[in-house]
Amino acid sequence: MKCPNCDLENLESAIKCDCGYYFRTNKIEKKSIDKIQKITVKSIKNIYVTGLIGFTIIGLIIIIHSLIKSFEGFLETGQILNNLPLDRFLLGISIILFGNLIWAVICEGLTLLLKIYEKKG
Ligand SMILES: [Zn+2]
């Protein structure tokens, strides 16, 4: 028996689906909806943290790479600042600062939308 609410396959003898849907009355238990939305908020937080780590690692790799280039140049010419690929260095910093900032705004917006949806429902 497939649940019409969440498409989960349930036993024929099942009274209620995991999502809170009652097969006999065709009604959805309110508490289970709250539970699902809490899980969704939680998973948005997980996605946010994953993105945060991702942006930071990418930014750091670019910064470290530009510093290595600068150091290689230093070994050849004895000048460290002239050999720093400034555009790449700044790109790395921008990804960490603005990437994470924009990412935070996106995830915060998603959570807010979910809360608004929760109030309407
Ligand atoms: Zn269901």
pLDDT tens, the chain, 121 aa long: 899 989 999 999 999 998 889 998 988 877 656 777 777 888 888 999 999 999 999 999 999 999 999 999 999 988 877 888 999 999 999 999 999 999 999 999 988 888 887 766 5
Same domain, 24 and 65: no
CA of 34 to the centre of ligand 1 (A): 14
Same domain, 14 and 56: no
Same domain, 15 and 53: no
Is this prediction's pTM over 0.85? no
CA of 33 to the centre of ligand 1 (A): 11
Query: For residues 32, 119, 109 and 8, what is the CA-based torsion angle, rounded to 10 degrees?
Result: 30
CA of 13 to the centre of ligand 1 (A): 14
CB atoms within 10 A of CB 48: 18
The number of distinct structural domains making up the chain is 2
Range of the domain at 23: 1-30
Same domain, 60 and 98: yes
For residue 115 the two structure tokens come to 């809360």
Same domain, 106 and 81: yes
* Coil, strand or helix at 69: helix
CA of 78 to the centre of ligand 1 (A): 68
CB within 5 A of ion ligand 1: which residues? 3, 5-6, 8, 17, 19, 21
Same domain, 48 and 18: no
CA of 51 to the centre of ligand 1 (A): 30
- Match 């790109």 to its residue by tokens: 91
Same domain, 42 and 87: yes
Q: What is the pLDDT of residue 120?
A: 64
